[in-house]
Structure 1
Amino acid sequence: MRSGSRLRSWCSALPPAAGGAVMATGILSIALELTGRTRLSLAALVVAGGLWLVLAGDFAVRLIGDRGRFRAEADTPAALTAVAATTLLGARLSQLGRQREAAALLALAALLWPGLLVSVVRHWRRRMPGAAFLVCVATQGLAVLAAALAAAGNVHWLALAALACFCLGLLLYGLALTRFDFHEVVSGAGDHWVAGGALSITALAGARLTALPLWTGPAHTALRAATLTALGISLAWYAVLLAAELRSPRPRYDVRRWSTVFPLGMTATACLTAAPATGVPWLRPLGEVLLWIAVAAWILTLLAFALSRSRPGRGAA
């Protein structure tokens, strides 16, 4: 009884930013499959799926039973992790050949996305943390999953929808950049890494679109150029953010640290996917190196979480 009560209490205390754990684990599952580590990939998928179910249940409980809290949390950028996490889980299922389940998750994410996006943008402040870039991440997540389903079923309208989301995501990134507090680079609690991760998922979406046979000639060239540009800038962000972490270490656990792991894994995945799509083969070995850095970061973050839970009052959810 006590353990059940503790579990319910823990779930009810989960902040929206906890969705970053699903995003981080889901993208690692995708990347591990791309490198042929199927067993590890499936293990990560099971973890991501379990976490997603917990958070989805909590989301539904708050929507039905605590509308005030739901509305307050829906105004924060972290609420968009619900959309991003759902699209990444769907992308992994599509990778497994489970297209119906992936399509259902795309429909769910598309249903959640507009309301949350509008609510978040309406409550933007002048100086925002890195979570502000989740407006781009969630939108590009839709592009990634739509492009995956378009490729799997040769569905023309899904490819067009993916392209529309890709373009909108680029616009939203620019808007978020104007609101980003650059002091977060040296003082952020973890979600400042999304500034680079948003461009990594943009590059992933671009690579998926570039690989579609629908785009030829100038359209293909433009998509390839956009993909490589986004990836190049995301790698520059990676270097800057890593240097800032080394200069100003922030070892204490915070739930937003999962939003550090996610960009690390996303950058690796973008490199692995862009290599064949853009014809730049050296991106693959780079992606493999970055993948193991992301895996190490995931393990360290999990250990930090476990340690924080063993010290009451010291750790977030």
Structure 2
Amino acid sequence: MPGTPSPRAWWAQRPPAAGAAVMATGILSVGLHLTGYEVLSRILLAVAAVTWLALAADFVARLLRDRPRWMAEAGTPAALTAVAATTVLGTRLSALDRQLLAEALLAPAALLWPLLIASVVSHWRRSMPGGVFLSCVATQGLALLGATLAEAERSAWLAHAALVLFWLGLVLYALALTRFDFRQVWEGAGDHWVAGGALAISALAGSRLIVADSPALYLWNTDDRGVLRAVTAALLVLAVCWYVVLLAAEVARPRLRHDMRRWATVFPMGMTAAALLSAATALDASWIEGPGEALLWIAVAAWLGLAAGAAGAALTAWNTVGRPRRPDRPRDGGAP
């Protein structure tokens, strides 16, 4: 019917960065699980899972039906949210002892990762927004899920593969930093927070690699474990420093207009909290649990505010998509 909003047309306007919503929701579910708020954690897990299924179906549909658009979007940093979102969701499912489901998510993420990384990095340029750090986030997401499954399944090869990805993620972060436009800290629309979030997920992956070790596996010797602990602690400090700088910039120059890229703000906020909570155990530093939980609730509040804004924006878009434009009224009073 003419003028009736079409669900397909409305959904087609979704940008590739929408995967950051799953990342943000999934990592908050992880953080709430770590702090014992299991009911809230599972509610957010359900939201993340449903959203992920919708995005995954759309991802496949575009690949099969609209290959040119799929290829164009595959060259953008936002495409890597597909890998990152999948690994965050898998990490939370592993914590529920759903190892088969977590492995089922690891497989496509691992297969998709090299294709997207090659495409995205080949399109890098100078003075890029914060999305450039998604190359590190996606890589560390694989390391995080690999380390989590290695601990659950007592798999040494998976832990060593995760360690390789951990170091590769740090290299990608260093390279991305040379392409990042630091003016985005002051001017960015939300995805500039990934500059800190990438370090936070690196610290979380490092802490999971430390915890994955056991006398039965003996993954790391004393020197290896010492290096992992030192690097993880350094990453955690840097992530918190980024958090402070980015938050100060937001307070000094508020950017309150709703933007889909704001999900890439909530994700680093939640990831920093989860990294602190996880590192409290891995680094034997229980004193950072308090700050970690405080940052978690700040991230939850930001998620609620953004979810409300996203719902309002979606309703507005739903009501306008497919509505015919009103013809301009002739100025001479003649017939249109």
2:42, 2:4 → 1: CA distance? 28
Is contact 2:5–2:318 with CA below 8 Å preserved after alignment? no
2:107, 2:316 → 1: CA distance? 40
**2:262 counterpart residue number:** 257
Q: Which has the higher contact order (CA 8 A, sep 6+)?
A: 2
Q: How does 1:88-237 map to 2 (within 5 A)?
A: 88-213=88-213, 214-237=219-242
Is contact 1:25–1:47 with CA below 8 Å preserved after alignment? yes
Is contact 1:194–1:260 with CA below 8 Å preserved after alignment? yes
Show CA shifts across 1:216-271 (max 9, x none).
Answer: 30111100001010010000000000000011111001100000000000000000
Show CA shifts across 1:140-174 (max 9, x none).
Answer: 00000000000001101000011000000000000
When residues 182 and 142 of structure 1 are mapped into structure 2, their CA distance, relative to the original with a 3 A threshold, is same
Q: In structure 2, give the amino acid aligned to 1:174.
A: A
2:99, 2:4 → 1: CA distance? 35
**1:38 counterpart residue number:** 38
Q: How does 1:248-287 map to 2 (within 5 A)?
A: 248-287=253-292
> How far off its partner does 1:308 sit?
2.4
Q: In structure 2, give the amino acid aligned to 1:295.
A: V
SS across alignment from 2:258: coil
> How far off its partner does 1:96 sit?
0.3
Q: In structure 1, give the amino acid aligned to 2:24.
A: A
> How far off its partner does 1:127 sit?
1.0
- Gap regions ≥5 residues in structure 1: none
Is contact 2:19–2:81 with CA below 8 Å preserved after alignment? yes
**2:332 counterpart residue number:** none
Is contact 2:132–2:180 with CA below 8 Å preserved after alignment? yes
1:199, 1:312 → 2: CA distance? 35
> How far off its partner does 1:281 sit?
1.1
1:63, 1:117 → 2: CA distance? 17
Show CA shifts across 1:15-69 (max 9, x none).
Answer: 1100000000000011101111111000000000000011001101110000110
> How far off its partner does 1:310 sit?
4.3
User: TM (normalized to structure 1)?
Assistant: 0.96
Aligned residues: 316
When residues 73 and 110 of structure 1 are mapped into structure 2, their CA distance, relative to the original with a 3 A threshold, is same
> How far off its partner does 1:212 sit?
2.2
**2:55 counterpart residue number:** 55
1:138, 1:314 → 2: CA distance? 35
Q: 1:295 aligns with which of 300, 309, 312?
A: 300
When residues 5 and 211 of structure 1 are mapped into structure 2, their CA distance, relative to the original with a 3 A threshold, is same
Bigger Rg, structure 1 or 2: 2
RMSD (CA atoms): 1.9
2:221, 2:192 → 1: CA distance? 36
Show CA shifts across 1:65-119 (max 9, x none).
Answer: 0011001000000000000000001001100000011011001100110000000
**2:249 counterpart residue number:** 244
User: TM (normalized to structure 2)?
Assistant: 0.91
SS across alignment from 2:286: coil
Q: In structure 2, give the amino acid aligned to 1:274.
A: A
> How far off its partner does 1:313 sit?
9.8
1:186, 1:208 → 2: CA distance? 33
Q: In structure 2, give the amino acid aligned to 1:237.
A: W
Is contact 2:5–2:319 with CA below 8 Å preserved after alignment? no
When residues 238 and 68 of structure 1 are mapped into structure 2, their CA distance, relative to the original with a 3 A threshold, is same
> How far off its partner does 1:4 sit?
9.9
- Gap regions ≥5 residues in structure 2: 214-218, 321-336
Is contact 1:308–1:314 with CA below 8 Å preserved after alignment? no
Question: Alignment identity in percent?
Answer: 59
